[in-house]
Structure 1
């Protein structure tokens, strides 16, 4: 028969709460039931948290949200894209040697070095700079002739050539020639100009 009065319901609730306390056995049973109910609730919440909010499926490598697993794959295609093989470079042709044997020095280059050195040494007193420069014009490149235009020939220490020219470095288009003088040794650079033949394009002192 249902309990209709508030006093009756209160008495019923009090009887329920006091039931576990009436004996140790009842208390143990109550604790076991409460722990079991709490474990079931926790398991249900964990299962719901592992589901995708959009599809209701577990997320991970097998879920449709993973682009790698959902991409279509042709039959027989590899699972991982293959790295393209490196392109082989064409063979490099052998370069021509920069230096040649000294015996291959052109005689014309040695002759130009000797004539230029004889015209370069300090001229006799009274010779002007323009006259000295004119003596070098036929054996000097136009570019280097402009550099020599600023030289005062009166300051040149050497007065004469004392020996024969000797090639010290030979290349296909240039020759370095040593020319001894009474004050120093000239290292003359003679180049092949194509249009005017061999001409002096610079010098150094040793």
Structure 2
């Protein structure tokens, strides 16, 4: 006879899930049965996997021919050690004058933000000296928050490598560290920080 009332259905469900909790013996038996089912399910799913492919060279008594390419190994192999990467640095006197000039021009445009200047106008002034990738980062800067109004000295190199130069440009508010990189379009600013 079907259970027709919600109270009767709830009582039937409660009787099913509380059965293992009535005695310690029932609880122990339930735990053993659940663990056994979990082990059986894991063994069954492990048994359904395809067997690992073995190459001809792995089989006993098999020979391989030279010139034939062995199949790719399904297991990862250890990579050879990689030498530590050390950037190539050049003497500070090797800094290209064009890179220093780009840093100087960029810092001047960065510090120039008269009252009422919008972010887009400020970014547009920086675009000629900035990499396209870095322009997107500058669109989030509010020119009113820039603590400088003018550049107070020339850009000088801090670190020089074949394709980039880190420069220092003093302003009346902060000293900027401007990174200039060599691109297809020439030297462009790829980042800056406050020193």
TM-score w.r.t. the length of structure 2 is: 0.55
Q: CA deviation at 1:122?
A: 4.6
Q: Which runs of 5+ in 1 are unaligned?
A: 1-94
SS at match of 2:152: coil
Structure 1 residues 103 and 145: CA distance shift in structure 2, 3 A: same
Q: CA deviation at 1:205?
A: 0.3
C-alpha separation in 2, matches of 1:110 and 1:162:
15
Contact 1:122 1:156 in 2 (8 A): no
Matched, 1:147 2:137: yes
C-alpha separation in 2, matches of 1:108 and 1:122:
21
Matched, 1:199 2:170: no
Task: Give the aligned partner of residue 106 of structure 1.
Answer: 96
Matched, 1:128 2:118: yes
SS at match of 2:191: strand
Q: CA deviation at 1:127?
A: 1.2
Q: Which runs of 4+ in 1 moved over 6 A?
A: none
Q: Which runs of 5+ in 2 are unaligned?
A: 1-84
Aligned residue pairs total 113
Aligned-residue CA RMSD in angstroms?
1.9
Cα shift readout 1:28-79 (whole Å, capped 9, x = no counterpart): xxxxxxxxxxxxxxxxxxxxxxxxxxxxxxxxxxxxxxxxxxxxxxxxxxxx
Contact 1:162 1:181 in 2 (8 A): yes
Q: CA deviation at 1:200?
A: 0.2
Return the match for 1:173 from 163, 176, 187.
163
